[in-house]
Amino acid sequence: MNRLRLKFSKNGPIKFIGHLDVMRYFQKAIRRAEIDIKYSEGFSPHQVISFAQPLSVGATSDGEYMDMTVNSMKSVSDVMNRLNAVMNEGIEILAIKELGEREEKAMTAAYAAKYRIRFRNSLKPDFDWINEFEAYLKKDKLSAMKKTKSGEKEIDMKPLIFEYNIDKEDESVDLLLSMSSAATLKPALLFGAFFNSLNKELSTNALDVHRIDIYRYMEDGETKYIEPFITDDINTRFILNG
């Protein structure tokens, strides 16, 4: 048996398909591609697949991940070619990596996600949001009310923002945000709090959200860093301890 991690994109109209439908889509694609997928045991066998953190409906991505276990395969490139041959427009397998036995599942290994945020043309703010947002991010504390199972609680978003880069010419911002079982910061919460700080209301669906990649936590001696799930480029790493 082989454990595989697939990186895929989700763009175009399929961005309006929810996570559960994406799961069903992949289950059917795996059968159509005749992948020798492993099934669970018991009265209701299902394909042994799992996904990293779900993507919000309406968002696009070039960094989604799915883990799956196969009984046999010719090569990772053969699996990739078979799947891409049966994919509809909007989803493409970008890379496949074979996992070691001890590697965590993508859903538990996820530590951060990088997003590119713009405003939709028809819903752009009527103020200079780029410069206002830059000033907002420089504050010592960024408070927000986050919904939890027990209600709402106030959090400080500042420690959950690992890195940001503002492109004033493009009117976009890249954000590297915490996305783990311990603490997750979604772009909508950050921008909602930003608008609230200006006594303004964020329009529904105003944000054009694109997930660039998902990162895992790593340690190398005393150095702590995060890097994309599938990468051979050390330049994509973000050092956490300076």
Query: Percent of the chain, pLDDT > 70?
Result: 99
List the domain boundaries for the chain.
2-103, 109-239
Tell me the average pLDDT across 166-193.
Answer: 93
Q: Report the SS3 class of residue 156.
A: strand
Give the model's pLDDT for residue 242.
53
Asked whether the predicted pLDDT for residue 64 surpasses 80, the reply is yes
- DSSP secondary structure string, 6-63? EEEEE-GGGGGS-HHHHHHHHHHHHHHTT--B-B--SSS--B-EEESSPPPTT-EEEE
Tell me the average pLDDT across 164-180.
Answer: 95
Give the model's pLDDT for residue 65.
96
**pLDDT tens-place string over residues 3-58:** 999 999 999 999 999 999 999 999 999 999 999 999 998 888 999 999 998 899 99
For residue 18, which phi and psi values (nearest 5 degrees)?
-75, 170
CATH number for region 2-103 = 3.30.70.580
**pLDDT tens-place string over residues 130-148:** 999 999 999 999 999 888 7
